Amino acid sequence: MPLQFSHKPFAELTLDELYDVMWLRDIVFVVGQKITAESEIDGEDRACTHVIGRDANGRVVATARLFLGKSPVKVGRVAVHTDLQRGGYGTALMAYVNGIIGDRPAAMSAQAHLEAWYTRVGWQREGDVYEEATIPHLKMTRNVR
C-alpha cells in the first residue's frame, strides 16, 4: 500500500492533476455517495491547497483540500477511491494532512459515521450532528498547541 503524496495550490496543479482529483471526488462523492455535482463543485477549489495521493502505478487514489490561509485551517473533500477504502489509505492520507497542518488549529465537517476513525487519526468531535449534502456530519477539530 505505498502511496506517494504531494500537495500544491490550485494554480500549480497540472490539467491532468486537476482532472484526476475531480474524477476521484466524483467517484467517491457523486457516484458513491449520491451527493449532487452542485454540492461537490462548489467554487472553493481555487482557494485551496490540494493533497494528491498516488499508488505505485501513479493513479490518484486519495485526495483532500486544505484552506491553509484560514484560521483554523479548514480541511475538506477527504476522499479515498471506493475500491481501496478500509485499506489504510485514508489513515496515510490524514497523517500527511496532519503533517502539513503542523501545530496550527484545524477544523473540518466530517461524515458522522467516520467519527471514531477521525478520532484515531488525531481529531476531536465538537458539537452535535447536522445535515450537509443530505448526509449526517460533525464538526471535527484538531488543536495540538
- Domain ranges, ordered by start, for the chain: 4-102
Find, among 92, 93, 135, 95, the residue nearest to 112 by Cα. Answer: 135
Q: Is domain 4-102 in CATH 3.40.630.30, yes or no?
A: yes
Q: pLDDT of 4-45, one tens digit each?
A: 999 999 999 999 999 999 999 999 998 888 887 667 778 899
Q: pLDDT of 63-81, one tens digit each?
A: 999 999 999 999 999 999 9
Rounded distance between C-alpha atoms, residue 72 and residue 77, angstroms: 16
Name the amino acid, one letter, at 31: V
Q: pLDDT of 102-145, one tens digit each?
A: 999 999 999 999 999 999 999 999 999 999 888 899 999 998 65
Q: What is the mean pLDDT of the chain?
A: 93
Rounded distance between C-alpha atoms, residue 108 and residue 126, angstroms: 10
Task: Please give the model's pTM, rounded to 2 decimal places.
Answer: 0.91
